[in-house]
Structure 1
Amino acid sequence: MKFLVLLHVLSAIMGVGPTFFAHVLARKKQTADQLRHTLVLGAHLEKFPKIGGTLAVITGLILFFAGEYGAFTQVWILGSLILYVLIQIIVIGFVTPNSSHLRKWLDAPENSEVTGELPGEAQNYLNKMNGYFYLASTLGVLLFIFMILKP
């Protein structure tokens, strides 16, 4: 059981961890060249939440059903699940579309020579993306508080 708890905690850190520094990569004041590099790094980081997040949910469910946690009516269990789902919705439903718009803008032939300051449209997508990352990070902190304190 201790190994399963260890696996759950490590996979949760790996799964939610990238949201804590993604907003650093997606900072607002970047040049087009910096943003191109940021999006490449972001694509690599997406692997961690997919693997770690999936493993955290599976091990969490195993721990729930094998442990003495009662029912899903416990605030910390229900809250943790809701927070995890909200983080996924924010990243998949809001960050990814803005990232896709930025990628399309950067890859457009007419923008291939742009290396300096971002124009309004691209900067707007980046600002939205950054704000959503901050929201996901805040929810991630709450998730870990629920998991640690089990209120």
Structure 2
Amino acid sequence: MITFYKVIVFIHIFSAIIGMGPGFILTTVVKSGNTMTELRHSYRLRHKLHIYVMVGGTLLLVTGLIMGFLNPSLFRMGWYIVSLVLFLVALASGPLLLSPRSKPVKALLESHKGDEIPEEYWRLSKALFRTEYVANVIFIIIITLMILKPF
């Protein structure tokens, strides 16, 4: 018999695939652009993929907390607490770090005339991508903690 808890675990795992999978390639998608036309298209694709990241990430947080409330002993497990804290840190990095770095890139994509990629884009995107890489490392740590449950 399938229990409610198992259904939540199932949703949690699929949310990780749906939310984190595309999140790991967001930077790669836009790095493939060699002209402004290609970059604009890449950023539109990135935006569509980001919707999956947001939906999956929200479901991850909700199902993770539901599992904790259904099994309160999780709140005494180090791997669970560290994963939750890291997830909240990564979640907060969106509006606090990623958004301020992505807004100038978006503005440049909208305002730049011509198909040549300006040097300013490379400077702006480098700062954005570096922040995204840090978030990806956090998510890799979370996934590792979820799998290994080391403490």
| Shared fold per TM-score greater than 0.5 | yes
Q: 1:83 aligns with which of 81, 86, 99?
A: 86
**Given residue 14 of structure 1, which amino acid in structure 2 is its aligned partner?**
I
Residues 43-76 of structure 1: CA deviation (Å, up to 9, x unaligned):
1122112211111111111111112x52534211
- Which stretches in structure 1 are left out of the alignment for 5+ residues? none
Count of aligned positions: 146
Instruction: Please identify, of 55-64 and 12-21, the stretch whose mean Cα deviation from structure 2 is larger.
Output: 12-21
Q: Provide the TM-score with structure 2 as the length reference.
A: 0.85
**Is residue 34 of structure 1 aligned with residue 38 of structure 2?**
yes
Q: Is the 8 A contact 2:105 2:125 kept in 1?
A: yes
**Given residue 24 of structure 1, which amino acid in structure 2 is its aligned partner?**
T
Local SS of the residue matching 1:72: helix
Q: Residue 52 of structure 1 aligns with which residue?
A: 56
Pairwise CA RMSD of aligned residues?
2.0
Q: Is the 8 A contact 1:95 1:133 kept in 2?
A: yes
Q: 1:8 aligns with which of 2, 12, 16?
A: 12
CA-CA distance at 1:142 after TM superposition: 0.6
Q: Residue 119 of structure 1 aligns with which residue?
A: 118
CA-CA distance at 1:79 after TM superposition: 1.0
Q: Provide the TM-score with structure 1 as the length reference.
A: 0.85
Normalized per residue, the structure richer in helix is 2
**Given residue 137 of structure 1, which amino acid in structure 2 is its aligned partner?**
N
- Which stretches in structure 2 are left out of the alignment for 5+ residues? none
Does 1 or 2 have the higher relative contact order (CA < 8 Å, sep 6+)?
A: 1
